[in-house]
Structure 1
């Protein structure tokens, strides 16, 4: 086989491949054998029909087509490997030329990983904000804790912001009740939001037994974005009473005896969270500083696919929260154009970062072992709220393990960059980044090693189950 590469752009190439007849012949013979088992020819047993008879009955062209369909993918991969190309998408196959008894040729255009000259990543400097836990931060957490132990008392007055009401609600369109948009006897806190646009405004000032009708726009379901008429009434208004923040409350809501101890614990937990946020900001700052030192051409097809994926994810999250895109942009003080420009920038930075980290991982010749994969599986399962064994089974069944491996390698590359960087806060203090994870959190190696050991058996079991299923399928096929 002969192949040649023509560079169409820094991220797209055109492969020209010529396959001689001797490399096509094994699949040509296989095609004859398969077709011989599928046709009935008088005078010949099924499967024993000679090639010359098949040529007369079926046509030589059909046999060649089947043989080429089996050969082309293999030769395409061989051409990629021979020219050290990493494809990023499915190729566009064109110019298929068949010369009977001489072989065939084709061209393939495909997006490929760009060639990157990795800059020196030792001693990168970056700065992040100070870690600061304010009294208002503590008060906010304490109030949230008090709300968990709050009581509700019926009051004889119109509903106000912050009150709880028991409501009945029904949305109609053209006089017909919208499916899934009718509730009865539901408890709802006025001002909480996230249900239906205009509801909070309608509830304020409403008294038990009174109803109100208003127009709104649906943010989910089959009628997403369509106008509906909403009728709401309330049967109760309840005022929330928070417990006193004293030693008695501290003993009720925590393991502490005094309110001073509880407050100190809240402040400490907030500090840990702020330090994790600072570590994530440091990671991003270091990576951004490195990206500024290198030009990375990006395949537009990859950028477009990622843009569409992220946009769809944002829209789904907003729909689940009961917020329209228009409301979201209003809250963020953004225009549609500003939102799209910001999303485009973030996607391009993310794609460029992946290419750069892949190149660094390759340069450093990183590898992974089973314990690291198990640990990563456990963490990913926890992040998605799934059982580790079920998550591992899903990853194996859907062949997502290579993606997880790539995530781990990129994490190692990022850790290498961060370890070599000098990061300070606004006050000039060095920022602790030891054991920084790719997601910006700081891990506990000993605890994670224990988690990995516990999960490794589950992962191996999932792998074994997959192998057993494959063996069963093979036995059935046999």
Structure 2
């Protein structure tokens, strides 16, 4: 097979795949061997008729389409890799005259990842939050560390919120016990809100070896439809009441839970960690604001297929997050009373923003000659391999050229953002209060919805 790039301009490429007559004839023969089992010809057992008989019965070109499809599936991805083309949609294909013992030429026009002209992306005015870590915030982190290392100790008193009770329970609706409402030796922290509303509160005051009837009403939107909105009673046997005992805050504790020898060292490094995290978050927020500014100065349209592809990616990401919580997409959609069409529609503004920002950043990279070195790509691969606890060389063997290109593009996008940030005019400002951030986020969501509606009307 011979690959030829005819043209590459205006975000579209034209290329040809040329197959010799022998290559096409072999593909036709392979198609016959694969499909012959499906043909019944009088005088032959099913699947046993010779190729010439089948072609005489159904027409000379009966296997041509299957042969062409297989050649395309096998060779088209190789051609894109060879020509280093990044396509965003299926190609338009024309064929030369097709026949036995004849060469085959596929002529294709393919849409490429768009490159656009971008202006006013250096020297932007950007606000960045000042970073301050207060003593009480450090103390709270240390207190959280103590809680994570607390131990549960049995106590001979009535349970209070924050205690953990060990219990058996059985749930009934009327006189009928329902499935999934029974447990033995269940540990439940009161105030954790792990059970349905009203359950844990009724165990406050319970003592070991006591019996408590807990009366609840399942929420109307409860995930188990048979229980939603129903009144139920749980007969509970309390075996034990436990309270958290925090370790004493001393140098021994610091040595047990960290690499530091003293509480003072532990606090000092806790402060440093908080400062580094907040600085990184403040910088990332400022970079996002900068990119949004650049996008407002450079409004663009992107092909709808790119937004749909990004939506597919976002759905896969969300499904993976759900799997970590023991859920799947069907369960989630049922719980929120929605469907996949509405879910995708709600995520569409975010998908469009992702696509547009990436197109613009990659276009800036092209204008500025920003590229990813082999060492930078390898470092990115190492980071991903570490996340999945894989050997980087083993991971490389699993990736094709197109996938490896994606890692390089991620590096290029990040380098472009960093280059813009280096040349931005950064002003440190006092961080906004949580309620101010919430109002801003609400306004941005409203603007995104308005933009999406305008785009929908325009279509």
Structure 1 and Structure 2 fold alike (TM over 0.5): yes
Deviations 1:210-246 (A, max 9, x none): 242534469999x589648684733222222324434
User: 8 Å contact 2:87–2:111 — kept in the other structure?
Assistant: yes
Tell me if 1:291 matches 2:291. no
CA contact under 8 A between 2:30 and 2:67: conserved in structure 1?
Answer: no
State the match for 2:159 in structure 1: 159
- Counterpart-to-counterpart distance in 1, 2:274 and 2:218: 39
| Match among 272, 276, 290 for residue 276 of structure 2 | 272
- Cα 1:376–1:309 change in 2 (3 A) is closer
Q: How does 1:6-25 map to 2 (within 5 A)?
A: 25=21
Cα distance in 1 for residues equivalent to 2:199 and 2:167: 11
- Tell me the distance in 1 between the aligned counterparts of 2:272 and 2:53: 84
Q: 2:116 & 2:363 partners in 1: Cα distance?
A: 7
2:389 matched residue in structure 1: 387
The separation in 2 between residues aligned to 1:294 and 1:366, in whole angstroms, is: 22
Q: Give the 3 Å change call, closer, same or farther, for CA 203–315 of structure 1 in structure 2.
A: farther
1:196–1:218 contact (8 Å) kept in structure 2: no
Paired residues, what number?
A: 397
Change in CA separation of 1:4 and 1:404 when aligned onto 2, cut-off 3 Å: closer
Q: Which residue of 2 aligns with 1:334?
A: none
Q: CA deviation at 1:351?
A: 1.7
- Aligned pairs (5 A) from 1:215-364: 215-216=217-218, 227=228, 231=234, 233=236, 234-246=238-250, 249-250=253-254, 253-254=257-258, 256=260, 258-307=262-311, 309-310=313-314, 313-314=317-318, 317=321, 320-321=324-325, 343-363=347-367, 364=369
Report what 2:436 is aligned to.
Answer: none
Contact 1:24 1:68 in 2 (8 A): no
- CA positional deviation for 1:130: 0.9
- After superposition, the Cα gap between the structure-2 partners of 1:169 and 1:356, relative to the gap in structure 1 and judged at 3 Å, is farther
How does 1:34-433 map onto structure 2 within 5 Å?
34=30, 56=56, 59-70=59-70, 86-90=86-90, 112-169=112-169, 175-178=177-180, 183-194=183-194, 199-208=199-208, 209=210, 210-216=212-218, 227=228, 231=234, 233=236, 234-246=238-250, 249-250=253-254, 253-254=257-258, 256=260, 258-307=262-311, 309-310=313-314, 313-314=317-318, 317=321, 320-321=324-325, 343-363=347-367, 364=369, 366-369=371-374, 371-382=375-386, 384=387, 386-389=388-391, 392-394=393-395, 396-397=397-398, 399=400, 400-426=403-429
1:328-366 Cα deviation digits (max 9, x unpaired): 99xxxxxxxx99887443332222122223323334151
Which string of whole-angstrom CA distances, capped at 9 and with x for unpartnered residues, describes residues 147-168 of structure 1?
1343433334443321122233
SS state at 1:113 partner: coil
SS in 2 for 1:425: strand
How far 1:374 moved relative to its partner? 3.1
Show structure 1 runs of 5+ residues with no match.
Answer: 40-49, 330-337, 429-478
Distance across 2 between alignment mates of 1:396 and 1:109: 31
**SS in structure 1 opposite 2:188?**
strand
Partner of residue 470, structure 1: none
State the 1:393 CA deviation: 2.5
Q: CA deviation at 1:280?
A: 1.6
**CA offset at residue 144 of structure 1?**
0.8
1:235 counterpart SS class: strand
- In the TM superposition, what is the alpha-carbon distance from 1:317 to its structure 2 partner? 4.0
Q: From the superposition, tell whether residues 24 and 66 of structure 1 become closer, same or farther in structure 2 (CA, over 3 Å).
A: farther
Give 1:175 deviation, angstroms.
4.1
Cα distance, 1:87 vs structure 2: 2.4
- Please give the alpha-carbon distance, in whole angstroms, between the structure 1 residues aligned to 2:196 and 2:393: 38
Alpha-carbon distance change, 16 to 314 in structure 1, aligned in 2, over 3 angstroms? closer
Relative to structure 1, the CA distance from residue 71 to residue 187 in structure 2 (aligned partners, 3 Å threshold; closer, same or farther) is: closer
Return the offset for 1:131: 0.5
Instruction: Return the alpha-carbon distance in structure 2 between the equivalents of residues 98 and 320 of structure 1.
Output: 54
SS of the equivalent of 2:297 reads coil
Q: Gaps spanning 5+ residues in structure 2: where?
A: 37-49, 337-341, 432-459
Contact 2:149/2:246 (CA < 8 Å) preserved in 1?
yes
| Residues 95, 106 of structure 1: 8 Å contact kept | yes
* 8 Å Cα contact 2:123/2:425 also seen in 1: yes
Q: Secondary structure at the match of 1:353?
A: helix
1:104/1:270 Cα in 2 relative to 1: closer, same or farther (>3 Å)? same
CA displacement at 1:258 relative to structure 2: 4.7
Deviation at 1:407, TM superposition (A): 1.9
Q: Provide Cα deviations, 1:14-69, integer angstroms capped at 9, x if missing partner.
A: x99999xx967454433455578888xxxxxxxxxx99888536631124334533
2-side partners of 1:321 and 1:203: how far apart?
A: 27
- TM-score norm. by structure 1 comes to 0.63
Q: CA separation in 1, counterparts of 2:172 and 2:395?
A: 41
Q: Tell whether the 8 Å contact from 2:163 to 2:189 is kept in structure 1 after alignment.
A: yes
1:231–1:403 distance in 2 versus 1, CA, 3 Å:
farther
